[in-house]
Amino acid sequence: MRRAAGWPKIGDLATSDVVVRLRTPEGRDEWLYCHSGVLAAGSKYFADRLSNDWPTCQILGSRYCVEVYCQELDLSSHVTVLRLLYAAEPCSRFGVRSSLGVLQAAVHLGCLQIAGACVDYLESAPWDEADEEEILRTIPCLGPQYECVLARLRPIDPAPVTSIFLSAFRHATSMLSVPELKSAAQEQLDYMLTEDDDAPLLLLHDDTVKSQVNDCVTGLLNRFSGFISSILTKQKQMPSGQQELHSLVSDFSWACQVLSKLEMMKCLVVYWVGVSSDVVEAIDAVCVGVDCLNTRLKATEVSAKVLEAIAFGNAVLPAEKRCDAVNVWIGFARTTKPMVQLEQNDCDDDDDNGDAESPKINLDNELWQSLESAIVSIVLTLPSNMQADILSDWLQSKHAKYPDLTEAFEVWCYRSKVAKRRLSFLSQINKVT
């Protein structure tokens, strides 16, 4: 660092008139030969200690002696502050961690100009996550005048959050967005709405948010309807049709997560149930190879979330529609899961043979369990004869292993066997009336 014009040099024994002894609880004792005029000009602490009003200033040889007590970890920062008192300008660009240490020492010694330079640097410098945690531990202890450093970490007003959320949602559901931006928007929107140790960043019951989200979702549904229609009328061909279908189904899967947190699943549930047969037909028409399985898995994810919403009563549909949805996705799951398991086994064999380039298929057991659980719950809500038809098809299928409808079968058998006895009062009431 460049020395201020006219200032003596720190450590110059010939001109020094004061010794600063830096002492730590561990017994370390650092001596610096300094100059009272420099110290008093830049530090309130030294100005007080070297004044005539301070009665206990010691004499070491022919020099005044001022003792400064600090922690072992802070000693080097105190040395830096003393050297900065001799600098032409209070340079503080030592990195975030070092500047924090210098700031603490400057506050301790009452070096306001150096402390101000540290604050200016910390306020404008980039931080990593470890820096942020250290700043949060340090700055609040120094006093309110230094809390401007925390400006980037303070809670934001609701209006900008809503604006950012809605703009990001448009990118997340648009086919025209740059893929990297779209992926980032989907990831961060999901994080904004997640309830973890912190509350969601957005008010989940904001009618303005729900209205504009509904508009974006409606646009997604319209694009999906147009695409499915073009597939079924042979206007779209592979591979572009396959890629676009996978992208749209992936958007649906993501939208399910967000809409469930906003308690807005009903519109998507009603739509998906209505187009389920067409979706399966479109997937069979354009999807081949490993990408086919990825698209099938995404469609399974959407269906699991839709059927869960129905099973939990978050979306109320007539029995006929519930029955149709269950039949379509039971059939789809029966064929998809064995295909995925076979591909997974092939990938494992390739790994054993050292083929690191083979594409991976993620067999998410939790996905299949949630789909199976939702199907069982919905089957048990259907009229007895509808249940009988579904169970009959299941028992006759070679894929009866999945989904496992054993629980539904047991409940149906019990209900059917005791039905006349349990409902006998109805016949008595009918006779009376």
Q: Rounded mean pLDDT of 154-161?
A: 88
Which range, 142-151, 224-233, 239-248, 418-427, is most confident? 142-151
Of the given ranges (19-28, 46-55, 104-113, 345-354), which has the lowest mean pLDDT?
A: 345-354
- pLDDT of 53-80, one tens digit each? 776 556 666 578 899 999 999 999 999 9
Residue of 276, 278, 277, 292 whose CA lies nearest to 239: 292
Cβ neighbours for 403, distance < 8 A, ≥ 6 positions apart = 330, 333, 334, 371, 372, 375, 376, 394
User: 3-class SS at 122?
Assistant: helix
Two structure tokens written together for 361: 């298929």
DSSP state string for 216-281: HHHHHHHHHHHHHHHHHTT-S-TTHHHHHHHHHHHHHHHHHHHHHHTT-HHHHHHHHHHHHHHHHH
Give ∠ CA 126-131-135 in degrees, rounded to 5: 105
- pLDDT of 342-390, one tens digit each? 877 766 555 555 554 544 555 578 999 999 999 999 999 999 999 999 9
Report residue 69: phi and psi, to 5°.
-100, 135
Report the distance separating Cα 262 and Cα 394, nearest Å. Answer: 35
Report the distance separating Cα 108 and Cα 80, nearest Å. Answer: 13
Two structure tokens written together for 399: 């894929």
Q: Are 33 and 99 in contact (CB under 8 A)?
A: no
Does 403 sit behind a cis peptide bond, omega within 30 degrees of 0 on the bond before it? yes
Q: Rounded mean pLDDT of 328-342?
A: 88
